[in-house]
Structure 1
Amino acid sequence: MRALQVQDHSEKPVFLDRSIPTLAANQILIRTAACALNFADLLMIRGTYQETPALPFTLGMEVAGEVAGLGAEVTGFEIGDRVAGFAGSGGLAEYCPLEATRCLKLTDGMSFDTAASALISYGTSHLALTHRAKLTSADTLLVLGAGGGVGLTAVEIGAALGARVIAVARGPEKLQVCKDRGATITIDSAEEDVVAKVKSLGGVNVVYDPVGGDPFVAALKCCRPEARYLVIGFASGDVPQIKANHLLVKNVDVLGFYWGGYMGFAPQVLLHSLRDVFAMISKGQLNPHIGGSYDFDQALEALADLKARKSIGKLVVRGPV
């Protein structure tokens, strides 16, 4: 099978021919139809992601396709089932082995592109907003980096849960997409004073922050008393330092959130959330935005576009066959 592998953290990934993996007893083999890209893929290439596999490894965290093989102990799946799952790595290949407990069956009406693009981004936002921040329809939600793949899902899920959503992004095109996904108010961070604008609106109860850096400092100033601040990631490359006295004065909760961690210590919480996400998509309450689809041979181009932040929403690489 063909696979896109990282062999050296100082070099670009390369396409290689590899043997189809032998399955463990608890795994299924997915014939890849779609693999969605993530910012974490770029970190893995450099070796800076918190869960970078040992070299060499195949890229690709989110995969969807058909079941092509079953481990000896797997139940509940059959050859030919349409599934999606969180691989962590290995999705940018013709076949991907995956623990059955990481997979969900798909309805016939859901495309592989949609399913692959929904796992981490929608799963992250749904679990963070519902399980950690306990967002309600009475809350005002501030989403930083709202035009990105994860931020846009927070806008959409926040709106679906009935909250007033303030979306912060750069440029009119991204702001329009945020409006289309349910943002009540949009702020162009390249043109407007985010703190002044949000404070004029009365502040916020929940902050969703996949950016870090200076935007973190600004958003913390926008918090109402007893606000919940979700730390999702650091796309800016800058991990901010928190002044504890600021939290004390406003009684603000800062909530760390790492979606993949739940697979280790509370997998059923994560899978329950994903089932809710897929149900909301099937009902039309959520509509994953795919910013670009690429053939397998174009995977390096797709990664370059992701790095250049050219995308609005998710980028998806189709399987090689």
Structure 2
Amino acid sequence: MKALVFEAPEKPVIADMPMPEVAPTEVLVRTKAVGICHSDYELLAGRYIIPIAYPVTPGHEWAGEIVEVGQAVKGFKVGDRVVGECVVRTPERLHHFGFSLSGADREFFTVNPEWLHKLPDAVDNKRAALIEPFTCGFYAVLRSGGTNASETVVVSGGGTIGLVSAAAAIGMGARVIVIDPLSTRRDVALKLGADVVIDPSDGGAAEKVREFTGGHGADLVIEASGHDASLAAAFDYAREEGRMSMVGINIGRKVPVNIGQIQMKNLTVKGCIGSPGVWPAAIRFLERTGLDLSPIQTHDFALTEAVEAFAFGQDATRSIKITLLNS
């Protein structure tokens, strides 16, 4: 079979690999679709938030079909369409699938069925590859109390996590404002159902938020970019007694912010990473709301073209979500 392998930092190759053997407690999955994440570029560059070793196959935003079931496995059968969680536990330790364990950027792979969730018929394979990032955005909204049709949510940052966070809030009924300097991302936010999009480049984003909210500010602000300017401005968007969910990653940097607004506005600010415990609810949510996340998936490549796909995605202004497809 073919697989994308990071042989060493900055050394991606398509390699021929033997078919994996299926243990009695495992299932064999044929990859159908895999998204490329910003974290995959961190792995390619030789860094990640937990220890990693090379060679390794990336791929943690995936959907696939079970083609073989180990003798001891119950609850899954050949033909089941599935997605799998990224943060998983083995007898040895906690792993990140696609990082410390090789992932789904290969034609076939084995997994522990405890990591899997079945897909509803209404969610096709390509859209299912967005479930992993969607769970992160869904969790970012839930962690700060959720939202509803009475509220306005500001999402600062229109990359994949910002857009799926916006989609989650839209699905819950809130009015949603997405703030991003790139017109392509703002256009996708509107396709997802955002009420307002704002270009922060002129420095007037906070005033526009207040104008849209009758002078009050947003009930919930989701900071999803991790960029210095977005982090500094996020506190300006919140109303008094508002909530903030900080999901954008900015590790090891110091950003000057008007921190006194936490007290002056009596804000509730929560850090947020990953999507613990929300996968079944997020999948039901997508099924029942019928949210169409496909506008986020801007470019497709064949799985065997993964090296070219990663090179194309190095310029973040050209795409939002690149999806690798294995027909």
Q: Give the TM bin, normalised by the shorter chain.
A: 0.7 to 0.9
SS where residue 45 of structure 1 aligns?
Answer: helix
Q: Distance in 2 between matches of 1:5 and 1:13?
A: 6
Q: 1:226·1:250 contact (CA, 8 Å) conserved in 2?
A: yes
Q: 2:4·2:13 contact (CA, 8 Å) conserved in 1?
A: yes
Quote the residue 1:137 is aligned against: 149
Quote the residue 1:288 is aligned against: 294
Q: Distance in 2 between matches of 1:235 and 1:314?
A: 20
SS where residue 208 of structure 1 aligns?
Answer: strand
User: In the TM superposition, what are the counterparts of 1:163-242 in structure 2 within 5 Å?
Assistant: 163-191=174-202, 193-201=204-212, 202=215, 203-212=217-226, 213-234=228-249, 240=255
Asked whether 1:275 is paired with 2:283, we answer yes
TM-score (structure 1 length as normaliser): 0.86
Aligned residues: 308
Q: Distance in 2 between matches of 1:245 and 1:46?
A: 37
Quote the offset at 1:237 in angstroms: 9.1
SS where residue 278 of structure 2 aligns?
Answer: helix
| Residues 140, 41 of structure 1: alpha-carbon distance in 2 compared, 3 angstrom cutoff | same
Q: For each residue in 1:142-173, what CA deviation from the matched residue of structure 2 results, as whole angstroms up to 9, or x when unmatched?
A: 11122x22222222221221111111122444
Q: Which of the residues 307, 311, 321 maps onto 1:314?
A: 321
Q: 1:120·1:259 contact (CA, 8 Å) conserved in 2?
A: no
TM-score (structure 2 length as normaliser): 0.85
User: In the TM superposition, what are the counterparts of 1:1-321 in structure 2 within 5 Å?
Assistant: 1-9=1-9, 11-51=10-50, 53-87=52-86, 88-89=97-98, 90-116=103-129, 118-146=130-158, 148-191=159-202, 193-201=204-212, 202=215, 203-212=217-226, 213-234=228-249, 240=255, 244-260=259-275, 262=276, 269-280=277-288, 283-289=289-295, 290-311=297-318, 313-319=320-326
Q: Distance in 2 between matches of 1:303 and 1:71?
A: 33
| Residues 293, 101 of structure 1: alpha-carbon distance in 2 compared, 3 angstrom cutoff | same
Q: 1:32·1:65 contact (CA, 8 Å) conserved in 2?
A: yes
Q: 1:43·1:49 contact (CA, 8 Å) conserved in 2?
A: yes
Residue identity (%)? 26
Q: Distance in 1 between matches of 2:230 and 2:279?
A: 31
Quote the offset at 1:111 in angstroms: 2.1
Q: 2:144·2:244 contact (CA, 8 Å) conserved in 1?
A: no
Quote the residue 1:265 is aligned against: none
**Partner letter of residue 7 of structure 1?**
E
Structure 1 unpaired stretches of 5+: 263-268
Q: For each residue in 1:118-154, what CA deviation from the matched residue of structure 2 results, as whole angstroms up to 9, or x when unmatched?
A: 22221111122124442222221111122x2222222
| Residues 78, 143 of structure 1: alpha-carbon distance in 2 compared, 3 angstrom cutoff | same
Q: 2:247·2:273 contact (CA, 8 Å) conserved in 1?
A: yes
Q: Distance in 1 between matches of 2:320 and 2:285?
A: 16
Q: 1:133·1:206 contact (CA, 8 Å) conserved in 2?
A: no
